[in-house]
Structure 1
Amino acid sequence: MAGIYIHIPFCQRKCVYCDFYSLADNKDFDIFISFLLKEINLYSEKYRDENFSTIYLGGGTPSILDQSQVETILKEINKSFQLSTSPEVTIEVNPGTVNEKKLKAYRNSGINRISIGVQSFMDEDLKFLNRIHNSEEARKCIIDALNAGFENVSIDLIYALPTQTISTLENNLTQAISYPLKHISAYSLIIEQNTPLASMVRESKIKPVPEELEAMMMEFVINFLTQNGFKQYEVSNFAKSGYESKHNLNYWNHSNYIGCGPSAHSFWNWKRWWNVDTIFSYYSRLNNNLLPVADSEELTETQIINEMLFLGLRNGGIDFKKMNKMFNKDFIKPNIEEINKLVEDNFATFEQNILRLTTKGYLITDEIVSKLAI
């Protein structure tokens, strides 16, 4: 199972926490799409015979594009690659950039999964995050997506905001589950360098949420959603049965994927590469009929093992039997003491050679990974 990621580097306004490559107030969409199609064609020369089962349009704000522009991209992908019988085709949308009519057009173009960047149903939170929408527009976007015929609707929420309490977090989650959503991603606010949010912290304009409160919020999110019919299949991702994001599972399971667009990453047979991170460099490379790759790396065995440990713990667990067979090594024996301690302290379960984190364990994932890493 392989995937295709398309990075649309445009947005109406940068959010204070965003460190993804994006351009605010740039309207050169058609020029960009013409170069994007060139990149897709270049990749098709090498990967035309591969089978792809997921397509994901991310950004930026892909929903800033109109339906004809999205349809042009999807038609080129369909023409250039072999797709599975019923591929999962996702687009990220932001409230305030779509309506029911536009979403219906997306649906008719072949998109069958919508990921809505709600982030919060509280206006105070949205104002702090510098989102372009308000809470009413967030609710309307969900309703419009459902009315447009989308069954597979996901939303993103952010917690551990300086403006947030456990009570307002509960309010957010309660509003979320009032809709027939199939998927919810809930992320803790990360203060990335070179963002307005990081500057606000350095200038003492805001204080990050204390680690203890952040851990309490994470535990609250996990317990609330799992008690309301959602299965936690990754640290920050929750789905109704059968509605896990297939595209994201590609990433987490080390399946192959191609990334197109400025700053997009690709991964194929344990080789990782990434594109140039400015649109001008992107155009320049493609003008010369060259893939816009900035650099690449072949993963070493140690890197592969450590990534499998890290991603395994964040997802369905580490299958030590599978790893033993894959690398012809015994990973259980040297780790058995640490595994037993994790189980004893209720940080993990260990059954049928699979180590899975408990809710308590998810709170200290990085610490556990550091103890198991080779």
Structure 2
Amino acid sequence: MRTVGFLVNPIAGMGGAVGLSGTDGGVEEAVRRGAVPHAAVRAARTLSLLRDEDIAWCTCASPMGEDVLTGAGIDSYTVLYRPTVPTGAADTTAACRVFLAAGVDLIVFCGGDGTARDVFDAVGGEVPILGIPAGVKMYSAVFAVNPAAAADLVRRAGDIPCRDSEVMDVDEEAYRSGRLTARLYGYACVPFVPERIQGGKQVFEQQDEERAKDDIAAFITEIMLPETLYIIGAGSTTARVMERLGLAPTLLGVDAVVNAEIVASNADERTLLALLDEHPRAKIVVSPIGAQGFVLGRGNQQISPAVLRKAGLSNLIVVATPAKLAGTPLLYVDSGDAALDREVGDSMLVVSGYRMAQRKRVVHSE
């Protein structure tokens, strides 16, 4: 029987839908803006697929694990750590040290990049770890691509190889102000199966890359319709579209444009839904994260399932340069609504230049 240590960062990802670009140090502001916890829901999807497995679970008292296990129908477990309330990074590291001392075979955590760093601080490479994605960004390569993939990896742990995978340190304050500042924090041991574990983010800066962004921006602005709401997602390629219109983009946030004028900068989910009430015709322009391939569910949670359904999936426009697509073999959608993700289909066209597109395979959340 395998022994698995399990914990949840209950505040992970709360800042995403409300436009905070992260939750570390910003929980009160996230709650003020109407954010609700969702990490436990993401974790429960994984655990519900594992309740019949022969696993000895070790966990933390609520709200860092026990409640999620019981909610997923798992009633046999051992509570090894009782966190402070409200919980913090120190609870994650302390719990993981207790798991390590108990001799667990694997530590499964639900959170984002900050949680991954806290887990790594406690265990380094001494025991395999696996993340259930629930944060805003998740640039580290220790996360399963979605909750169902996490369950598959836990089920197969011990029978599949582990690899050294990047844990990234992302500056939260810089990220909230629109600057991506990241450095390699360390390498963790992670169970690995292709298409089940996400890659680390890559940044492409070649001269041809900049020319391709200009070509994409020229094409998108050329086909923009009047009296239509354009929701422009995060990233340097979509930012070039804004710049082509003579507008200042929110590089790591979501902007809304009508008739080449900004109607909302760094918009949250609530703002986007209100704008869609005012503007029934809408388009959403997003770009996948380099190498990871996530179109939905990473860094753009403001474009929520409710926003996508209201705008219509047929109005989703994906853009990416040829260099990014060459390093991104698959696209992923993990919006948080599995039924909606399936509606995306098995492939999508990606605008990759001026009147040019490539068709890429899509992997769904479930």
- How does the TM-score come out when normalised to structure 2? 0.32
Instruction: Please say which structure displays the higher CA radius of gyration.
Output: 1
